[in-house]
Amino acid sequence: MTAPLPIIDGLQYSAWSEAIFRQMRDGGLAAVHVTICYHEDFRETVENVIAWNRRFERHPDLITPGRTADDVRRARDEGRTAIVFGFQNCSPIEDDIGLVEVCHRLGARFMQLSYNNQSLLATGCYEAEDPGITRMGCQVIKEMNRVGLVVDMSHSAERSTLEAIEISERPIAITHANPAFWHPARRNKSDAVISALAESGGMLGFSLYPHHLKGKSGCTLEDFCAMVARTAERWGVCMLGFGSDLCQDQPDSVVEWMRNGTWTRDLDFGEGSADAAGFPAMPAWFRDNRDFPGLAAGLRGVGFSEEEVGRIAGGNWLDFYERSFGPQGGSADGAADGSVR
């Protein structure tokens, strides 16, 4: 009998604890892509890597570093959760293209080219104008392709996203967002973006963050799963996964920091507002990692086959990891030691 397809979550940023790692196990998560940077520079990001190294030491029965697809399969077989590092911004590479390779070596496998605002590489979805990928951005995408650091455009603006898909020689990801046809939030993605992503072999991780859901915190599991079905009908099942954007146990000061970093003296409310500035309440059917089996059941409920559920719940992400985390032109998983030369 073949091993079951792993469950993989395409993005989380929780206040990490043993309790959360146990919930990952209870939910059957073989891998979670965790954010280790929103605004941190290189040195601060390294400090976050160190914090994860301590967690790996402290909870070897629950979590393990996830640097390759093989790491994820091994974690699944051993009953652990592989932790894949990613950046929601390009701040860790500062203005130094040489840091791309260094960050990959340190375990980073996803990097957003921009987070809400204009970056040195690309435009964020909250800017009034979107001029597309910058001169440095073109250079950095090429370098990310070379070493196997996945371009993530979740918080980027439309034109920048389309250009990143075009410029990147390897498929990119939108780790956590939903189709705008379902809920036209600023962070959700247009048909044009999803089509370009599908054609290029990219991945879309469906978000469970209430601002990305139709009906927000009141969104029903049925409505969410019907949206997944509609997306699959239009673009196929193979590009689809989850990217819950779960920010469990974080105080509201964290979402304020995500939105404001140190770039403004006025207060920015991002997807929130002055009278609803904090984290929104998660939908009742997705409180934490233990609810992934319920999500899978919801997909069955709207007619997905068992194989399709397995693909969406993690199989597609695993294939994408296999294709994406090693050096360009190298053998699959050739970067098991992080080497790119």
For residue 4 the two structure tokens come to 């079951």
Complex with a copy of itself: residue 41 or 249, whichever CB lies closer: 41
Among 45, 88, 123, 324, binds a copy of itself (CB under 8 A): 123
Cα separation, 142 vs 202, in Å, equals 16
Residue 297 interacts with a copy of itself (CB under 8 A)?
Answer: no
Among 56, 77, 79, 98, binds a copy of itself (CB under 8 A): 98
List b or e across 12-44, with b for residues whose CB sees 16 or more CB atoms inside 10 angstroms.
Answer: bbbebeeebbbbbbebbbbbbbbbbbbbbebee
Among 265, 273, 274, 341, binds a copy of itself (CB under 8 A): 265
Among 95, 233, 275, 337, binds a copy of itself (CB under 8 A): 95
- The nearest distance, CB 84 to a copy of itself, in angstroms, is 25
Residue 266 interacts with a copy of itself (CB under 8 A)?
Answer: yes
Site for a copy of itself in 8-47 (CB under 8 A): 39, 41
Cα separation, 273 vs 186, in Å, equals 14
- The nearest distance, CB 150 to a copy of itself, in angstroms, is 19
Residue 126 interacts with a copy of itself (CB under 8 A)?
Answer: yes
Residue 54 interacts with a copy of itself (CB under 8 A)?
Answer: no
SS3 (DSSP) at 26: helix
For residue 296 the two structure tokens come to 């899978």
Q: Looking at the chain, list the stretches that DSSP marks H as alpha helix, in order from N- to C-terminal side.
A: 18-27, 42-58, 69-78, 98-105, 135-147, 158-167, 191-199, 221-235, 252-260, 292-301, 306-310, 316-324
Do residues 133 and 160 make contact, with C-beta atoms less than 8 angstroms apart?
yes
Considering only 102-110, 177-185, 262-270, 312-320, which stretch makes contact with a copy of itself by CB under 8 A? 262-270
Residue 142 interacts with a copy of itself (CB under 8 A)?
Answer: yes
Q: Which backbone phi and psi does 223 adopt, to 5 degrees?
A: -65, -45
Contacting residues toward a copy of itself, per CB under 8 A: 39, 41, 91, 94-98, 117-120, 123, 126-132, 134-137, 139, 142-143, 261-266, 268
